[in-house]
Amino acid sequence: MDDRDWMKAALAEARRAGALGEVPIGAVVVRGDEVVGRGYNRREIDRDPLAHAELIAIRAAAERVGDWRLSGCTLYVTLEPCAMCAGALVNSRVSRLVFGASDPKAGYCGTLGDIVRDPRLNHRVVVEGGVLAEECGALLSTFFQALRAAARGPEAPLDPPDSEGGPADVL
C-alpha cells in the first residue's frame, strides 16, 4: 500500500466522526504494512478537549506496540495537526507524518508553525502534506456547510450576514 491508500483509511475514520456529528478528522498509525492505531475526532462525544483523532490513534498505537516510542511509525491524518498534536508526534517519536488538507487556522506542521521539524527539539518528524488534500478538504467543507445551514434554519437567506455577526461568523 502507498500513502494514498493509507490516507483512504484515515478518511474512513474521518467519516465515522462525521456520522456522529463530530468534525470529520481521522487518523491511522502505520508500522510496516500494518495499522497499529486508529482514531477519529471525539471531542464532543467525550466532552474532552484532548480527544483529537491524532492523540487517540497515537494512544492506541502505543498500547498495541507496547511502547510509548513509535519510531518507525507513520501517522496519516486528514487535516494538518494542531500544535498539541504536533507536540504529541514529537514526544511519541513518530518517524513520519502524512496529512491531507493544510489547516490555515490551526496547523502547526508547516502552516502557522512547524513544531515537528523544529531543530531545537530532541526529535524531528519527516512531513508529507497534501496527500488526497482535495478529498480531505471537501469532507470538512461539506460538514461545515451543513452545520452553517442548520444554524441558519430553513427559512434564513443563503447569503452570509454582514459584518455585524451571525451564523456565518460563528464557525
Catalytic positions, please? Answer: 54
C-alpha cell belonging to residue 17: 466522526
* b/e burial code for range 38-64 (CB count within 10 A of at least 16 → b): bbbbbbeeeeeeebbbbbbbbbbbbee
Give dist(CA 15, CA 59) in Å, integer. 20
Closest CA to 101 of 137, 128, 75: 137
CB atoms within 10 A of CB 2: 7
Closest CA to 77 of 60, 94, 101, 104: 101
d(CA 37, CA 142): 26
